[in-house]
């Protein structure tokens, strides 16, 4: 008998053995999940176990499919958690929050094998330095407890994993698919948010508001409640809608496509205005302006200057609109939006004085604690594990508080290098993908490390990884 005749049966046997092992694994996993789900107290554990099993399986077959699944999962996470809470009751530790980080870790493992960490330049090294500093910040005794530091990784370290995924896995085609998916998901998200405003909140959302408190969640605008759609907060919802808007504009403003994108863009603009989150409107306008400047091949400094002038023009234009006279939640939210945009320099309009005070205080804290007080001190990890939360609502000051001067330097390098690379790439290519990437970075500016925005936090790091990959290929 020849060697080939022996090898073929052995290969078939090995394939059959792997298939049988896979079936056994799925059967055991399915039975375990079913047993857990029989008790409502274990519903979260059952869902998390099922999704983790699915993530492992998809990662071995198609990592790009898992990346798409992560984007969909994170966009629906807020609503799913509220529905599960209505069935299974409240829980101090929600295991569903670990599904996204597990999927990102699996994707990073694949990205490593595909050169995600190879041929690093200044931007990749700065991201690596910030990641190492974040891991070291877990052990900072000033944050209250080691548990707070470990939990803080979910908000600071985990979003940065997407950089290596973008660098190792995101070809132009893959990233285009992800961004178009974000644009598509923005439509039902906007419809859900508008329904919350005009039709009222469904039972699971109402229960969440009553449990936590609208004032504590920052949802109250007078007597009205901001919409939050399927997300964990009104701010995350508004930023996601803004991201969908810039992607629709980038891919849709082509001569033959314009008639087909007017309706979705109008819907997203309406949802953004009614969201009553004024910062999201400002960054969306700035992002669209930068995209236009890059498409006209203006250098970055004139582009930034022109964007600032256009924002002043936006304020002047809003002043002429006037606030609506009718009553109701929608009118209250729109009036709040218009009043802030009409006079952005008014400290009371955008709470500008409060924000600047928090940022300044956070930056000065790096002088008192040059190595920071730990990454668990600037997010919800401090609240959960007995620490003192010192969030300053912006990345630079948060990093200064958490990681001190070294972390602040690494972060500023990432921002400067990342924006410059992204702008120059968009200016050179002038295609829809590079312009959309620039828009994503601009919309999320100063919030790249806001891990509490679960559906948003990974996107700027993912596109930064693609920018670094594309720049390296060009070199």
Distances (CA, A) of 305 to 289, 299, 301: 10, 10, 6
pLDDT number for residue 450: 84
Domain definitions of the chain by residue range: 123-474
Question: Can you read off the two tokens belonging to residue 113?
Answer: 């094998």
Question: Can you read off the two tokens belonging to residue 142?
Answer: 């000033």
Provide the terminal-to-terminal Cα distance of the chain, rounded to the nearest Å: 54
pLDDT by residue for the chain (475 residues), tens digit each? 454 444 454 444 445 544 554 444 455 455 545 544 445 557 778 888 888 888 888 888 889 999 999 999 999 999 998 888 877 766 667 888 889 999 999 999 999 998 888 888 999 999 999 999 999 998 988 887 888 888 888 888 999 999 999 999 999 999 999 999 999 999 999 999 999 999 999 998 998 888 888 776 778 887 789 999 999 889 999 999 999 999 999 998 875 677 788 899 999 999 999 998 888 898 999 999 999 999 999 998 998 898 888 888 877 777 677 666 666 788 888 887 888 777 665 555 555 666 677 788 878 888 888 898 888 888 877 677 766 778 787 889 889 998 999 999 999 999 999 999 999 999 999 999 999 999 999 999 888 988 788 899 999 999 999 999 888 766 5
pTM: 0.89
Alpha-carbon distance of 258 to 391, in angstroms, equals 42
pLDDT number for residue 459: 96
pLDDT number for residue 185: 96
3-state secondary structure the chain: CCHHHHHHHHHHHHHHHHHHHHHHHHHHHHHHHHHHHCCHHHHHHHHHHHHHHHHHHHHHHCHHHHHHHHHHHHHHHHHHHHHHHHHHCCCCCCHHHHHHHHHHHHHHHHHHHCCCCCCCCHHHHHHHHHHHHHHHHCCCHHHCCHHHHHHHCCCCHHHHHHHHHHHHHCCHHHHHHHHHHHHHHHHHHHHHHHHHHHCCCCHHHHHHHHHHCCCCCCCEECCEECCCCCCCCHHHHHHHHHHHHHHHHHHHCCCCCHHHHHHHHHHHHHHHHHCCCHHHHHHHHHHHHHHHHHHCCCCHHHHHHHHHHHHHHHHHHHHCCCCCCCCCHHHHHHHHHHHHHHCCCCCCCCCHHHHHHHHHHHHHHHHHCCCCCCHHHCCHHHHHCCCCCCCCCCHHHHHHHHHHHHHHHHHHHHHHHHHHHHHHHHHHHCCHHHHHHHHHHHHCCCCCCCCCCHHHHHHHHHHHHHHHHHHHHHC
pLDDT number for residue 322: 63
Alpha-carbon distance of 239 to 272, in angstroms, equals 9
Alpha-carbon distance of 220 to 200, in angstroms, equals 14
pLDDT number for residue 11: 46
List b or e across 113-128, with b for residues whose CB sees 16 or more CB atoms inside 10 angstroms: eeebeeeeeebbebbb
pLDDT number for residue 177: 95
448 close to 399: Cβ distance less than 8 angstroms: no
């Amino acid at each position: 008998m020849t060697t080939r005749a022996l090898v073929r049966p052995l290969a078939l046997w090995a394939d059959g053995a792997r298939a049988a092992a896979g079936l056994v694994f799925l059967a055991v996993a399915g039975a375990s999940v079913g047993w857990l789900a029989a008790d409502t107290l274990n519903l979260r554990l059952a869902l998390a176990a099922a999704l983790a099993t699915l993530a492992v399986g998809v990662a071995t077959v198609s990592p790009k499919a898992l990346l798409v699944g992560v984007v969909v999962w994170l966009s629906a996470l807020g609503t799913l958690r509220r529905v599960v809470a209505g069935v299974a009751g409240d829980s101090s530790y929600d295991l569903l929050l670990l599904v996204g980080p597990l999927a990102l870790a699996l994707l990073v493992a694949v990205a490593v094998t595909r050169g995600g960490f190879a041929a690093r330049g200044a931007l990749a090294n700065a991201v690596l330095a910030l990641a190492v500093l974040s891991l070291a910040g877990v052990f900072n005794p000033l944050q209250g407890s080691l548990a707070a530091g470990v939990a803080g990784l979910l908000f600071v370290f985990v979003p940065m994993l997407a950089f290596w995924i973008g660098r190792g896995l995101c070809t132009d085609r893959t990233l285009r698919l992800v961004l178009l998916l974000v644009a598509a998901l923005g439509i039902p998200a906007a419809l859900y948010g508008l329904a919350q405003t005009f039709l009222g909140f469904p039972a699971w959302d109402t229960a969440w508001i009553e449990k936590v408190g609208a004032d504590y969640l920052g949802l109250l605008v007078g007597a009205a409640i901001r919409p939050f759609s399927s997300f964990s907060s009104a701010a995350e919802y508004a930023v996601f809608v803004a991201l969908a808007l810039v992607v629709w504009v980038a891919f849709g403003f082509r001569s033959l496509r314009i008639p087909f994108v007017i309706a979705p863009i109008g819907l997203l603009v309406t949802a953004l205005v009614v969201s009553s989150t004024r910062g999201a409107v400002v960054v969306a306008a700035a992002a669209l302006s930068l995209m236009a400047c890059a498409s006209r091949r203006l250098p970055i400094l004139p582009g930034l200057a022109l964007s600032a002038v256009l924002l002043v023009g936006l304020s002047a234009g809003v002043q002429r609109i006037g606030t609506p006279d009718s009553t109701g939640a929608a009118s209250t939210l729109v009036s709040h939006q218009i009043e802030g945009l009409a006079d952005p320099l008014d400290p009371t309009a955008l709470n500008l004085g409060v924000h600047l005070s928090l940022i300044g205080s956070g930056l000065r804290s790096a002088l008192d604690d040059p190595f920071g007080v730990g990454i668990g001190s600037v997010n919800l990890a401090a609240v959960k594990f007995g620490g003192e939360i010192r969030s300053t609502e912006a990345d630079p000051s948060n990093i200064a508080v958490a990681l001190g001067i070294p972390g602040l330097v690494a972060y500023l390098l990432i921002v400067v290098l990342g924006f410059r690379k992204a702008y120059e790439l968009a200016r050179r290519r002038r295609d829809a993908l590079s312009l959309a990437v620039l828009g994503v970075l601009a919309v999320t500016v100063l919030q790249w490390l806001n891990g509490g925005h679960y559906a948003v936090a990974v996107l700027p790091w993912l596109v930064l990884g693609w920018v670094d990959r594309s720049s390296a290929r060009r070199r």
